[in-house]
Amino acid sequence: MTTIEIPQTRLETGYDNTAEDCINREPLITGEATYHAVTKIVCATPEARRAPKIWYVCFTISLMLLCVLFLTIAYQVFTGVGVWGNNSPNAWGFDIINFVFWVGIAHAGTMISAILLMFRQRWRTGINRFAEATTVFSVLCAGIYPAIHVGRPWFAYWLLPYPNIMGDWPNFYSPLLWDALAVGTYSTFSFLFWYFGMVPDLATLRDRAKTRTRHTLYGIFSLGWRGSARHWKIYDRGMIIMGGLACALVMAVSSTVSTDFAVSQLPGWHETIFPPYFTVGAIFSGFATVIALAIPARHLFGLKDLITERHMDNLGKLMLVLSSIVLYIYLIEFFMAYYSGNIYERFAYYNREFGPYWWMGWAMMFCNGVVPQALWFKKARITWWLSLPIALLALFGMWTERFSIIVTSIHRDFLPSSWHMYSPTIIDIGMFAGSFGLFFTLFLLFCRFLPMVAMSEVKSILPQSHTHLPEDCKDAQ
Amino acid sequence: MSTYIPSMDAPVEEPALYGLLAEFHDPQSLMNAANVLRKAGYYRWDCYTPFPVHGLDKVMGQRPSILPVVVFTVAALGCIGMLALAWYCNAFDYPIVVSGKPYWGLGPHMFLAFPVTVLASVTTTFYATFIFCKLPIFRHPLFTSERFRRATDDGFFIAVEARDAKFDLKVTSELLNSAGALAVEEVRD
Whether A293 contacts A299, CB under 8 Å: no
Q: Which of A182, A207, A456 sits opposite B51 (nearest CB)?
A: A456
A464 Cβ under 8 Å from any chain B Cβ: yes
Distances (CA, A) of B90 to A206, A313, B93: 51, 51, 7
Residue A177: the pLDDT is 86
Contacts of B67 in chain A (CB under 8 A): 234, 237-238, 241
Residue A10: the pLDDT is 41
Q: Residue A187: which of B122, B91, B111 has the closest Cα?
A: B122
Best to test chain A binding among B31, B53, B111 (most A CBs inside 10 Å)? B111
Q: Which residue of B has its CA nearest to A204?
A: B152
Contacts of B110 in chain A (CB under 8 A): none
Q: Do B152 and A196 touch (CB under 8 A)?
A: no
Residue A26: the pLDDT is 67
B50 Cβ under 8 Å from any chain A Cβ: yes
Surface of B (100-159) touching A: CB under 8 A: 101, 105, 108-109, 111-112, 114-116, 118-119, 121-123, 125-126, 128-130, 132-133, 135-140, 142-143, 148-154
Q: Which of B67, B121, B138 sits opposite A237 (nearest CB)?
A: B67
Distance (Å, whole) CA A457 – CA A461: 7
Tell me what ipTM this predicted complex has. 0.90
CA-angle at A142, arms to A138 and A148, nearest 5°:
145
Distance (Å, whole) CA A246 – CA A230: 25
Distance in Å, alpha carbon of B1 to nearest chain A alpha carbon: 33
The neighbour count for residue A373, using CB atoms within 10 Å, is: 14
Chain A with chain B: Cβ pairs closer than 8 A: 227
Task: Name the amino acid, one letter, at A162.
Answer: Y
Q: Do A35 and B154 touch (CB under 8 A)?
A: yes
Spatial strand order of the sheet with B17-24 comes to B45-48, B156-161, B17-24, B183-188
Q: Which of B35, B65, B135 sits opposite A225 (nearest CB)?
A: B135
Q: Which of A168, A206, A470 sits opposite B94 (nearest CB)?
A: A168
Distance in Å, alpha carbon of B168 to nearest chain A alpha carbon: 22
Q: Which residue of B has its CA nearest to A42?
A: B153
B69-73 long-range contacts (CB < 8 A, ≥24 apart) are B70/B124, B70/B128, B71/A241, B71/B121, B71/B124, B71/B125, B71/B128, B72/B121
A274 Cβ under 8 Å from any chain B Cβ: no
Distance in Å, alpha carbon of A362 to nearest chain B alpha carbon: 34
Distance (Å, whole) CA A20 – CA A295: 22
Distance (Å, whole) CA A39 – CA A33: 10
Which of the pair, B20 or A111, is modelled with greater confidence? B20
What is the mean pLDDT of each successive set of 10 residues along chain A, which is 477 residues long?
40 57 68 86 89 93 97 94 91 92 89 82 85 93 88 86 88 86 91 94 93 93 93 93 89 89 90 92 92 90 85 92 95 93 92 93 94 94 93 95 93 90 94 96 94 91 85 63
Residue A30 DSSP SS3: coil
Distance in Å, alpha carbon of A160 to nearest chain B alpha carbon: 11
Q: Which of B31, B111, B122 sits opposite A242 (nearest CB)?
A: B122
Contacts of B81 in chain A (CB under 8 A): none
Q: Do B151 and A249 touch (CB under 8 A)?
A: no
Contacts of A473 in chain B (CB under 8 A): 35, 38, 58-59
Is residue B148 very low, low, confident or very high in pLDDT (cuts 50, 70, 90)?
A: very high
Q: Do B58 and A465 touch (CB under 8 A)?
A: no
Contacts of A476 in chain B (CB under 8 A): 35, 38, 58-59, 61
Burial of A272 (0-12, 13-18, 19+ CB in 10 A): exposed
Contacts of A352 (CB under 8 A, 6+ apart): A268, A361, A404, A408, A409
CA-angle at A427, arms to A424 and A432, nearest 5°:
80
The neighbour count for residue B12, using CB atoms within 10 Å, is: 5
Query: Can you give the three-state secondary structure of chain B, one letter per residue?
Result: CCCCCCCCCCCCCCCCEEEEEEEECCHHHHHHHHHHHHHHCCCCEEEECCCCCCCHHHHHCCCCCCHHHHHHHHHHHHHHHHHHHHHHHHHHHCCCCCCCCCCCCHHHHHHHHHHHHHHHHHHHHHHHHHHHCCCCCCCCHHHHCCHHHHHHCCCEEEEEECCCCCCCHHHHHHHHHHCCCCEEEEEEC
CA-angle at A179, arms to A174 and A185, nearest 5°:
135
Distances (CA, A) of B133 to A218, A360, A426, B7, B144: 19, 53, 52, 40, 20
Residue A301 DSSP SS3: coil
Residue A6: the pLDDT is 39
B60 Cβ under 8 Å from any chain A Cβ: yes
From first CA to last CA, the distance across chain A in angstroms is 42
User: What domain count does chain A have?
Assistant: 1
CATH of the domain at A411: 1.20.1630.10
B67 Cβ under 8 Å from any chain A Cβ: yes
CA-angle at A56, arms to A50 and A58, nearest 5°:
145
Q: Residue A453: which of B155, B51, B127, B151 has the closest Cα?
A: B51
Residue A20 DSSP SS3: coil
Q: Do B138 and A220 touch (CB under 8 A)?
A: yes
Residue A8: the pLDDT is 39
Residue A23: the pLDDT is 61
Distance (Å, whole) CA A288 – CA A131: 11
Distance in Å, alpha carbon of A35 to nearest chain B alpha carbon: 5
Mean pLDDT within B36-46: 91
In a domain, A339, yes or no: yes
In a domain, A218, yes or no: yes
Residue A462: the pLDDT is 86
Whether B48 contacts B160, CB under 8 Å: no
Q: Do A39 and B137 touch (CB under 8 A)?
A: no
In a domain, A22, yes or no: no
Q: Which residues of A208-223 are buried (b: 16+ CB within 10 A; e: fewer)?
A: bbeeeebeebbbebbb
Residue A113: the pLDDT is 81
Phi and psi at residue A341, to the nearest 5°: 75, 5
Phi and psi at residue B184, to the nearest 5°: -125, 130
CA-angle at B176, arms to B171 and B181, nearest 5°:
150
A256 conformational bin, left if phi > 0, alpha if psi -120 to 50, beta if neither: alpha
Which of the pair, B129 or B3, is modelled with greater confidence? B129
Q: What is the mean pLDDT of chain B?
A: 89
Distance in Å, alpha carbon of B35 to nearest chain A alpha carbon: 7
Whether A105 contacts A143, CB under 8 Å: no
Whether A197 contacts A239, CB under 8 Å: yes
Distance (Å, whole) CA A10 – CA A22: 15
What is the domain extent for residue A280? 31-461
Q: Which of A203, A219, A245 sits opposite B121 (nearest CB)?
A: A245
Distance in Å, alpha carbon of A357 to nearest chain B alpha carbon: 33
Alpha carbon dihedral B110, B112, B115, B121, in 10-degree steps, equals: -80
Q: Packing angle between helix A94-105 and helix A384-403, nearest 10 degrees?
A: 140
Distance (Å, whole) CA B176 – CA B166: 13
Burial of A432 (0-12, 13-18, 19+ CB in 10 A): buried
In a domain, A383, yes or no: yes
Surface of A (205-224) touching B: CB under 8 A: 206-208, 219-220, 223-224
Residue A121: the pLDDT is 82
Burial of A5 (0-12, 13-18, 19+ CB in 10 A): exposed
In a domain, A18, yes or no: no
Residue A292: the pLDDT is 93
Q: What share of chain A is helix, strand, coil (3-state, %, to 5)?
A: 75, 0, 25
Reply yes or no: is the peptide bond before residue A146 cis, omega within 30 of 0.
Answer: no
Q: Do A226 and B140 touch (CB under 8 A)?
A: yes
Q: Residue B111: which of A109, A330, A262 has the closest Cα?
A: A262
Residue A12: the pLDDT is 42
CA-angle at A113, arms to A107 and A114, nearest 5°:
85
A158 Cβ under 8 Å from any chain B Cβ: no
Residue B9: the pLDDT is 60
Residue A4: the pLDDT is 40
Q: Which of B50, B130, B138 sits opposite A227 (nearest CB)?
A: B50
Kindly give the residue spans of alpha helices, DSSP state H, lying in A341-383.
Answer: 343-354, 358-364, 378-382
B59 Cβ under 8 Å from any chain A Cβ: yes
Q: Which residue of B has its CA nearest to A161?
A: B89
In a domain, A213, yes or no: yes
Best to test chain B binding among A206, A237, A250 (most B CBs inside 10 Å)? A237
Whether A262 contacts A269, CB under 8 Å: yes
Distances (CA, A) of A298 to A53, A61, A303, B10: 16, 21, 4, 58
